[in-house]
Structures are given as structure tokens and as C-alpha cells.
Amino acid sequence: MATFKDLLSQTKKQIKELTTDELAQRLAGAAKPVLVDVREPDEVEAGILPGALAIPRGFLELRIEDKVPDRAASIVLYCAGGNRSAFAAKSLAELGYTRVESLAGGYNRWHDQGRPTEKPLSLSAEQKERYRRHLVIPEVGEAGQQKLLNGKVLLMGAGGLGSPAALYLAAAGVGTLGMVDMDVVDLSNLQRQVLHGQEWLGKPKTESAVARLRSLNPDVKVIPFQERLTSENVERIVSQFDLVVDGGDNFPTRYLLNDACVLLDKPCVHGSIFRFDGQVTTFIPRVGPCYRCLYPQPPPPDMAPSCAEAGVLGVLPGVIGTLQAVEALKLLLGKGTTLAGRLLTYEALNTRFAELKLRRDPKCPVCADGVPFPGFIDYEQFCRVAA
Ligand SMILES: [Zn+2]
């Protein structure tokens, strides 16, 4: 009867092994092999080779055809020390894979030599359950969910637009949400600002938002900014995030935020509402227009009434803020087509969606090519002077 040692040495004669040096050279070249880590999930947690697929040895034959359908693909298998991957290589050869090799010395030798490794994408059992409906979508999956968990979105305003956007982004597992709002919850807010409840009347909206979002999803870190956005703090705040969802309701802040996003190269998902009408677009600096390309000058104050003056159907910000959340998720995932260069309008009274093409202004004072950033201005003054 053959011992384990006999079986191993016999197997190693039947397969091809490669050294860590050879693998490093191969990975630096143009035709990179497919790396497959056959260790158990608890071993993989500490680190894997960059870009490796983790398929535990016990599932290898079951899953390899799904993950690597091409039988002629160059595959390098590795385990901790090079024995399990040797047996695995033999098994793949029997399945008809023609270019399979096993890494001699395995992960441990690679790691001990100080070669690059990375933390694997891994969700906890609870996260796998919570995001199950995301994990089954090919455009999201575990890698996408990990991107969302690493994502940082700044919400400008915890009001009508910010409420649905924050709730859905938190539910989706966007890991960090910043909220800029200096107001307290007022009874007249509750007709549409679904983030807040009766018990928060008179208290800061940011505090109400932190409590609500934390109870919705403990994966989410909420950073409150109970302050007015100004030329002095805007860079410090916006620079901490990947993108901005603008649910602000005044023009000075909108221009300030636009200029900061162009300066810091951050996408800004813009929404606005008026009675039964809403609109949404996504500004991606230098890819599409910015807010100033569309509106070089602010409207005179009497032409731009606020929600308080003009009124708004309670559910309308729900529709627009939710569309903004969808844009933000696509930007974080890097999937689909955003509203960059398109303005989507929604007319609730007659149920009509329409789309307008938006173009960059080659003479835009902040985002035109080759134009240095002009610096922040006095936005209050700018919006009054235009009147
Ligand atoms: Zn512009």
C-alpha cells in the first residue's frame, strides 16, 4: 500500500511545478496565468496573491469549469506549501486542462519572500445574508458589494432629497455616508423628509440621520457635519468622499459645491424639485458639463423660490432623491451609464419623463480645459449680484 509520501512524490512527477521566481516573471509579463488559491476560507482570510481566484480544494472540480471555462488557459494553482495544489493540478489535468502548474512552496514561500499579497474580498456570514439580493446580480456580486462597503458618499442636505438618498444608500451598504446639514427637524419637514420622525422635532437633522441610518444598517458609518458649507470648509469636507449627492436647496451652496467638485475631481449627482417637477443629472468633471456650464449665472432671487415659498408635492423628492441614489450606486460600482451629459426631467402632474442633452461650455470659468481653477468666490454675493 502506498503511503502519503509515496503518493505525493508520484503526483509531483506527473504534474508541472513552477518556482516563485518563475511565477513572478510570468505575472509581470503580458500573458498572465489564471491564479487559483485552493486553500480553505480561513487560510485565505490573511491574504492571497493579487488577483487570485479563491476556490477551496474540496470545491475545485465542482467550480473550475464555471470560473475558467477555457481548458487551454494557463492556470497556476497554489496552496499553503505546495502539496494540496500538486494533487489539485493532477485532478485538473484529468478534467482536460492542458496548461496547469502548481506553485512550489505555495503561499507561505511567496509571502516569506516579501512578494506582493492582498487582502481577499470577503463578506461576513451576516453581510452575505443582508446583501443576498445584491450578490446574485452579476453587475454587483461580492466584488461590487465590497466596492459599496468601501464607498464614501457625501450627502449635501438631510432634507427632502437627502432623506431617500441616504436611506437607500445605507440600506445598500455604502460604507461611509457624510451628511451636511445645519438645520433642526421642523414639523413642516415631515411631509417629505422621511429620514426624520416626530420624536426628533427641534433636534438637529444630522443627529436624527445618524440614529436612523445606524438602526437601518450597522455596516454604515455616518459622519455628521452640522455646519454650513463654506469656502473655508468645503475642501476639507468634500475631499474625504468619492462623490457627492447634492440635495441642497440654495444657489450659493450649489455653486460652491460645484466648484469644489471640479477642483477635487469628484462626481456630483444633482437633483432639484419644484412643486410637481423634478430634475436630476450627474456632473462628472471634464467628462460632462458642470453646473456652471448649464447655469453660468444664478437666477435672480425672486425667480428662484425655495420649497418653503413655492411648495412641493411630498413624494416628489422621494422620486428624485431615489434616482440620485441609483446614480451614486452605479458610480461606486463602475457599472452602467450615468446621467453625465443628460438632464432627466420628471413632470409628476402628467407623469412624463423627458431627457435633455447637456453640453460642456468650452468657456466655462471652472471646468474648461486648460483653465486653472479660479479659486472660491463669495457665493452669497455672487447670487445676489446676479439679481
Ligand atoms: Zn463647467
Indicate the Cα dihedral angle 346, 349, 352, 353, nearest 10°. Answer: 10
pLDDT given at position 382:
86
Q: What is the mean pLDDT of the chain?
A: 94
Q: Residue 100 burial (CB < 10 Å; 0-12/13-18/19+)? A: buried
Cα gap 306→257, rounded to integer Å: 18
Which grid coordinates are listed for 227? 455646519
Distance of CA 74 from the midpoint of ligand 1 (Å): 48
Distance of CA 164 from the midpoint of ligand 1 (Å): 28
Distance of CA 263 from the midpoint of ligand 1 (Å): 11
> What ranges make up the beta strands (E) of 231-380?
243-246, 268-274, 277-283, 342-347, 352-357
Residue-wise pLDDT for 68-84, tens only, equals 999 999 999 999 999 99
Does residue 3 come out as left (phi exceeding 0), alpha (psi in the -120 to 50 range) or beta? Answer: beta
Distance of CA 342 from the midpoint of ligand 1 (Å): 14
Q: What is the DSSP letter of 103?
A: E
Comparison of pLDDT for 290 and 46, the residue scoring more: 290
Distance of CA 203 from the midpoint of ligand 1 (Å): 37
Name the residue with cell 439679481.
387
Which grid coordinates are listed for 240? 474625504
pLDDT band at 128 (very low <50, low <70, confident <90, very high): very high
Distance of CA 304 from the midpoint of ligand 1 (Å): 21
Comparison of pLDDT for 122 and 99, the residue scoring more: 99
Distance of CA 11 from the midpoint of ligand 1 (Å): 65
Distance of CA 344 from the midpoint of ligand 1 (Å): 18
pLDDT surpasses 70 at 307: no
Distance of CA 269 from the midpoint of ligand 1 (Å): 14
Distance of CA 309 from the midpoint of ligand 1 (Å): 29
pLDDT surpasses 90 at 302: no
pLDDT surpasses 50 at 387: no
Distance of CA 253 from the midpoint of ligand 1 (Å): 16
Q: What's the whole-model pTM score? A: 0.74
Distance of CA 111 from the midpoint of ligand 1 (Å): 48
Residue-wise pLDDT for 101-117, tens only, equals 999 999 999 999 999 98
pLDDT surpasses 90 at 136: yes
The closest of 228, 254, 223, 229 to 153, measured between CA atoms, is 223
Distance of CA 283 from the midpoint of ligand 1 (Å): 9
Distance of CA 332 from the midpoint of ligand 1 (Å): 22
Name the residue with cell 461611509.
176
The closest of 228, 182, 177, 225 to 203, measured between CA atoms, is 182
Give the HSE-up count for residue 137: Cα atoms under 13 Å, Cβ half-sphere: 10
pLDDT given at position 255:
95
Distance of CA 362 from the midpoint of ligand 1 (Å): 8
Distance of CA 262 from the midpoint of ligand 1 (Å): 8
Distance of CA 249 from the midpoint of ligand 1 (Å): 20
Distance of CA 293 from the midpoint of ligand 1 (Å): 4
**Sign of the alpha-carbon torsion through 169, 175, 178, 183:** positive
Q: Residue 62 burial (CB < 10 Å; 0-12/13-18/19+)? A: exposed
Residue-wise pLDDT for 184-225, tens only, equals 999 999 999 999 999 999 999 999 999 999 999 999 999 999
Distance of CA 286 from the midpoint of ligand 1 (Å): 8
Distance of CA 368 from the midpoint of ligand 1 (Å): 6
Distance of CA 176 from the midpoint of ligand 1 (Å): 28
Instruction: Say which residues have a Cβ less than 8 Å from residue 262's Cβ, sequence separation at least 6.
Output: 285, 286, 290, 366, 367, 373
Apex CA 283: angle with CA 281 and CA 286, to 5°? 145
Residue type at 268 in one-letter notation: C
CB 64 within 8 A of CB 95: yes
